[in-house]
């Protein structure tokens, strides 16, 4: 048996809903202890007795004994803590109710035709050979069988109850939202830190094997699988529509190697996504053309045309040489220009003037343009090397804040966390206006990846809370609380 006591996932919200659910389950169990079991049966999830929407909620708050309720609450705490830490209490409450309704409604619908009339019919076979049974009409026999069926239901046959389906639903969501984070696991062999995905796989595979051993019949392992599937569907759906920000640590981002971006409503419309992508590509092409035009040098060299070399408006200087009046046109002599490009006698000028035109000489690329190119191609390691070389050659080098942030975030996506922290620290020195946001990101790396809470606490002390927006303030408070709690524990 494995016990999960906590996780290293960052928590941005207090577990209000999780604690409330645990308290409600315990209070209901204590309150119903004096009540006869038969009075609780109508509130359990019944099979083969029609649809009962109230049971889809109530069955999740009823338990068969103290071991049942305590076991569920032990696991509800760590799984709910991780999920609610990303959502907040209100969305967590909506999510838990959605898991309860989804798994219970599907179970009841699937079992509509598989009622306990079959078992009642099997019990009725014991009447074969009985004279009273034999003389009954078919309607009378059917009435007896219906009474047996109701008796089975009243005695707890064909019903389910407990919070375990909700617990497995939250576990599946943990695996979707934070597969590479770690759970603190305790077993009879010691204490360990296992990836969330590994813990989820151990529990779910165990229940899957149990379901196969009973031939896929409705049983405790199969009910747990219903909860896990409901949680997986809802967790993935919330990730897709952007109801939760997993900061690139979700299972989709880990598989694809890049941070998953939520889908928009337009992208969910068939054919609309392709049209939007085409329009975006055309706009980017126009912008790129405009950028290239703007990047051309502003200066030009314009050479004089041969037809104007001897005119008064040309850049050449001409003088008349006094000679005796012989009736001939005075000769013209060209004086050498101080510019060596135009020096030399006129006879040295070529007769073919096709080469004379406006000539653009390109400027050498800027370091920031090279950085932009490396980042746009996903070469974050190369961008880091270019940045390091530029700083060594010019300690005052200052690329734009956008470039610094994109390089650092790209290094995080490629799991180069130490390098990302160094780039953020470089940006902190160059741009005081965004320093607090970057310090918050560095602290998050120290807590989540390096697990260095002491160093993270030092970084957080330098953050000016007043300069953060609301989501950043919530993250700051959660990380500050996390480092404070661990420091208090160590003390």
Give yes or no on whether 3-117+148-266 and 367-490 have one common fold: no
Say which residue the tokens 């006094």 belong to: 322
Token look-up 């030009």 returns 300
Q: What is the pLDDT of residue 123?
A: 54
Question: Where does 3-117+148-266 sit in CATH, by number?
Answer: 1.20.1540.10
pLDDT of 157: 53
Question: Can you give the pLDDT at residue 140?
Answer: 77
Assign 3-class secondary structure to the chain.
CCEEEEECCCCCCCCHHHHHHHHHHHHHHHHHCCCCHHHHHHHCEECCCCCCHHHHHHHHHCCCCHHHHHHHHHHHHHHHHHHHHHHCHHHHHHHHHHHHHHHHHHHHHHCCCCCCHHHHHHHHHHHCCCHHHHCCCHHHHHHHHHHHHHHHHHCCCCEECCCHHHHHHHHHHHHHHCCCCEEEEEECCEEEEEEHHHHHHHHHHHHHHHHHHCCCCCCHHHHHHHHHHHHHHHHHHHHHCCCCCCCCCCHHHHHHCCCCCCCCHHHHCCCHHHHHHHHHHHHHHHHHHHHHHHHCCCCCECCCCHHHCCCCCCCCCEEECCCCCCCCCCCEEECCCCCHHHCCCHHHCCCCCCCCCCECCCCCCCHHHHHHHHHHCCCHHHHHHHHHHHHHHCCCCCCCHHHHHHHHHHHHHCCCHHHHHHHHHHHHHHCHHHHHHHHHHHHHHHHHCCCCHHHHHHHHHCCCHHHCCHHHHHHHHHHHHHHHHHHHHHC
What's the pLDDT at 305?
43
| Res 59: pLDDT | 95
Cα R_g (the chain), whole angstroms = 39
User: Residue 370's pLDDT is what?
Assistant: 86
Q: Per the structure block, which two tokens stand in for 227? A: 């909860």
The pTM for the full model equals 0.52
Alpha-carbon dihedral angle through residues 231, 227, 97, 59, given to the nearest 10 degrees: 180
The CA angle 88-452-201, to the nearest 5 degrees, is 60
CATH fourth-level superfamily of 367-490: Tetratricopeptide repeat domain (1.25.40.10)
d(CA 169, CA 183): 17
Mean per-residue pLDDT pooled into runs of 10, the chain (491 residues): 88 94 96 88 86 95 93 95 94 96 93 60 61 74 67 59 96 96 91 94 93 78 94 94 90 89 63 69 84 62 40 41 47 45 47 52 74 85 88 86 88 88 88 87 87 87 86 86 66 46
C-alpha to C-alpha distance for 202 and 391, rounded to whole angstroms: 49
Task: Please state the domain extents for the chain.
Answer: 3-117+148-266, 367-490
Residues 153, 475: Cα–Cα separation, whole Å: 50
| Rounded Cα–Cα distance for residues 411 and 480 (Å) | 25
């Amino acid at each position: 048996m494995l016990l999960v006591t906590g996780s290293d996932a960052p928590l941005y919200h207090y577990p209000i809903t999780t604690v409330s659910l645990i308290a409600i389950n315990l209070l209901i169990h204590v309150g119903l202890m004096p009540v006869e079991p038969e009075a609780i049966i109508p509130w359990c999830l019944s099979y083969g007795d029609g649809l009962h929407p109230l049971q889809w909620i109530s069955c999740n708050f009823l338990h068969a004994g103290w071991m049942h309720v305590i076991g569920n609450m032990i696991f509800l705490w760590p799984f709910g803590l991780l999920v609610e830490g990303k959502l907040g209490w209100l969305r967590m409450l909506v999510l838990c109710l959605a898991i309860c309704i989804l798994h219970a409604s599907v179970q009841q619908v699937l079992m509509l035709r598989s009622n306990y009339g079959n078992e009642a019919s099997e019990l009725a076979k014991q009447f074969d050979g009985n004279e009273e049974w034999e003389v009954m009409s078919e309607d009378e026999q059917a009435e007896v069988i219906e009474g047996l069926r109701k008796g089975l239901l009243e005695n707890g046959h064909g019903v389910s109850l407990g919070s375990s389906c909700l617990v497995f639903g939250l576990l599946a969501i943990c695996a979707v939202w934070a597969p590479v984070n770690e759970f603190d696991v305790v077993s009879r062999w010691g204490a360990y830190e296992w990836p969330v995905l590994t813990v989820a796989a151990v529990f779910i595979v165990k229940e899957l094997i149990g379901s196969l051993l009973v031939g896929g019949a409705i049983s405790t392992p199969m009910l747990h699988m219903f909860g896990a599937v409901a949680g997986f569907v809802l967790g993935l759906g919330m990730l897709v529509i952007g109801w939760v920000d997993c900061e690139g640590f979700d299972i989709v981002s880990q598989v694809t190697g890049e941070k998953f971006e939520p889908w928009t409503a337009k992208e969910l419309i068939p054919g609309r996504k392709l049209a939007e992508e085409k329009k975006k590509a055309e706009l980017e092409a126009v912008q790129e053309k405009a950028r290239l035009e703007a990047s051309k040098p502003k200066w030009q060299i314009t050479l004089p045309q041969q037809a104007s070399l001897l005119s008064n408006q040309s850049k050449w200087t001409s003088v008349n040489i006094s000679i005796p009046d012989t009736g001939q046109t005075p000769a013209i002599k060209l004086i050498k220009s101080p510019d060596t490009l135009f020096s030399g006698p006129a006879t040295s000028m070529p007769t073919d003037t096709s080469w004379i035109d406006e000539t653009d000489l390109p400027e050498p690329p800027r370091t920031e343009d090279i950085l932009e190119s490396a980042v746009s191609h996903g070469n974050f390691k190369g961008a880091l090397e270019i940045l390091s070389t530029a700083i060594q050659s010019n300690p005052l080098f200052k690329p734009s804040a956008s470039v610094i942030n994109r390089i650092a975030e790209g290094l995080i996506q490629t799991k180069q966390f130490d390098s990302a922290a160094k780039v953020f620290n470089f940006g902190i020195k160059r741009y005081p206006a965004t320093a607090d946001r970057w310090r918050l990101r560095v602290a998050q790396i120290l807590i989540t990846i390096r697990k260095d809470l002491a160093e993270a606490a030092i970084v957080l002390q330098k953050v000016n809370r007043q300069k953060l927006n609301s989501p950043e303030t919530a993250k700051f408070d959660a990380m500050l609380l996390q480092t404070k709690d661990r420091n208090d524990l160590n003390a």
